[in-house]
């Protein structure tokens, strides 16, 4: 069964945390759209410096959570910090949770979920530097390569991508939670 997944990102996303899940989703025969508040293209961050530009498939203002089966939130330091102050982005993310659709967030990606008020009482993992922020927001933080809680898939860093991608696809195949 064909699926359509939104990957929400803006300038400064960690390149491999968008490219790896996108490729993995497309290998399933699914459509993976880069959705952004920006139009045209967005610039990645590749470990220690700016990386490649990535084409934006859909501008955030033109799509709704009902257009998609699941959501992916790549990390990087800059990307989540920009998105967490964007009311349209927060509203888009909340709609996935309200609909019970799978959401996958890696590295600093879960930081956006704090601003959206979506981590309280949830089992979660993340990049270690935002552990305290997540705990203070009410999350039950675990230091594991992948943590799943009612359709929410989280991982710590790019090293966890194989486990993250596999679990993300499992949750998308299961559908609504």
Report the catalytic residues: 107-108
Q: Tokens 């459509």: give the residue.
A: 31
Token pair for residue 120?
């309280």
Residues across the chain: 177
Q: Which of 161, 148, 69 is nearest to 107 (CA)?
A: 161
Helix and strand tally (H, E) in the chain?
Answer: 6, 12
DSSP code, position 159: G
What is the rounded (10 degree) CA torsion for 141, 142, 148, 150?
A: -30
Q: Which of 74, 28, 33, 30 is nearest to 166 (CA)?
A: 28
Runs of H (alpha helix) within 71-148: 78-83, 87-98, 110-115, 131-136
DSSP code, position 70: E
């Amino acid at each position: 069964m064909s699926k359509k997944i939104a990957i929400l990102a803006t300038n400064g996303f960690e390149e491999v945390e968008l490219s790896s899940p996108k490729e993995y989703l497309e290998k399933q025969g699914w459509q993976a759209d880069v959705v952004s508040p920006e139009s045209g293209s967005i610039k990645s961050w590749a470990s220690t410096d700016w990386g490649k530009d990535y084409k934006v498939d859909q501008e955030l203002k033109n799509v709704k959570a009902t257009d998609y089966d699941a959501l992916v939130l790549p990390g990087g330091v800059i990307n989540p910090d920009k998105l967490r102050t964007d009311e349209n982005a927060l509203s888009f993310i909340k709609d996935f949770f309200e609909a019970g659709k799978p959401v996958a967030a890696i590295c600093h990606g879960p930081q956006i979920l704090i601003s959206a008020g979506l981590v309280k009482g949830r089992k979660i993992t993340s990049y270690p530097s935002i552990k305290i922020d997540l705990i203070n927001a009410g999350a039950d933080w675990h230091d594991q390569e992948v943590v799943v809680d009612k359709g929410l898939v989280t991982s710590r860093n790019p090293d966890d991508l194989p486990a993250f991608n596999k679990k993300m696809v499992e949750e998308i195949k299961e559908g609504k939670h």
